[in-house]
Amino acid sequence: MASNVVSDSDKPSVSNVEQSRSGLCDEFAAITGTDSAVAQCYLAENEWEMERALNSFFEAHLEKVFEEDFPDGETSPKAKRQKVEEKPPADCIDLTEDSPASARKSSEEEDDNKLSLICWNVDGLDTDNLGERARGLCSFLVLYTPDVVFLQELIPPYVQYLKKRAVSYLIIEGGEDNYFTGMMLKKTRVKFLESEIVSYPTTQMMRNLLVAQVTFKGQKLCLLTSHLESCKGQAEERMKQLRVVLQRMREAPEDVTVLFGGDTNLRDTEVAKVGLPSSVCDVWERLGKQEHCRYTWDTKANNNKTVPYVCRCRFDRVYFRPAAKDGVPRLAPDHMALVGLEKLDCGRFTSDHWGIYCSFSAA
């Protein structure tokens, strides 16, 4: 009988940023008797200095900061309208705001001109522990302070939570009802120009392509995210959708850097049939096909979904097309790691997918 024990070699690695800051959070939580979310809030607000954070904690009374913003499963139209009309409460702290500490990266990410990205299917359709899992996402925004965030399987209450807690980000939604994709852009780093939603004509699952034109450090970027058709039997539709994505990437002006990320549900054989343009690279492949970043949907290590089988797939992918025009700054991928590998206090992971963190530097 096959063993379900995950060996050390099978376990995804955790980046240095997460290791060091998670250690501080664990220590803070042990001293104060709180949880990791409270710890991250105080540490981030106090430049990740333990003594200052503890002093701030014992002097303040911020219990309301971490109240549930929405009950699990609250998705009624009436509730949605109310939340759209609500303004952030006066005592709401932005868990993702810039600070000297949160702006600091690990030694490999000190260059201020690097572009950082998190791409994650947050599984908003699973309403169990949704509030705590949404806070888990905000925790990773604190840890990594990414410039760009691509999200899939958002639902309206999840978006309203993010709008309250991550006010240092501009949130672009790929839909309004049911479930959809979204982007988050760090306001101090990324300038938003315009966005559009491109439909997939034959989708049976309400899927589309969200496109945003932005600038970063004076460079033109075209950002794309999507959730391609799910399930093994939908390979033909999925490949149609991939062709739409790649056409957009290929046809972007030569002075524009193009970045796509999402839950593609792709199998390698499907990508081979479609074929990537020579100008487009798979970031995971470009960085050497590191084994610890291979599986983003892994029922061997992630038990959020109860399934009677082991499935390890690279559903979540990041594609990159550098600017080609002479004289235009060129970015290149230089780092990738998986995030969300630790269980939350509720005993579940932030999502049934691991998130992807990657960074890009001047070539």
Rounded distance between C-alpha atoms, residue 53 and residue 98, angstroms:
16
Residue 82: phi, psi to the nearest 5? -60, -40
- Taking alpha carbons only, the member of 121, 126, 131 closest to residue 165 is 131
Per-residue tokens: 185: 């852009």
**DSSP track, 105-151:** --GGG--TT-EEEEEEE--TT--TTHHHHHHHHHHHHHHH--SEEEE
The CA-based angle 349-306-270, given to 5 degrees, is: 85
Instruction: Look up residue 5 and give its two tokens.
Output: 């024990």
Go through 96-109 and write b for each residue having 16 or more CB atoms within 10 A of its CB, e for each that does not. bbeeebbeebeeeb
CB 161 within 8 A of CB 133: no
Range 243-246, long-range pairs (CB < 8 A, 24+ positions): 243/274, 244/198, 244/200, 244/209, 245/209, 245/319, 246/274, 246/276, 246/277, 246/280, 246/319
Separation in Å, CA 13 to CA 71, 87, 198? 33, 39, 35
Output phi, psi for 319, to 5 deg: -115, 150
339 and 17 Cβ atoms separated by less than 8 Å: no
Active site residues: 263
Which residues are within 8 A (CB) of 76 and not within 5 positions of it... i.e. 6 or more apart? none
3-state secondary structure of 58: helix
Helix (H) or strand (E) holding 337: strand 331-339
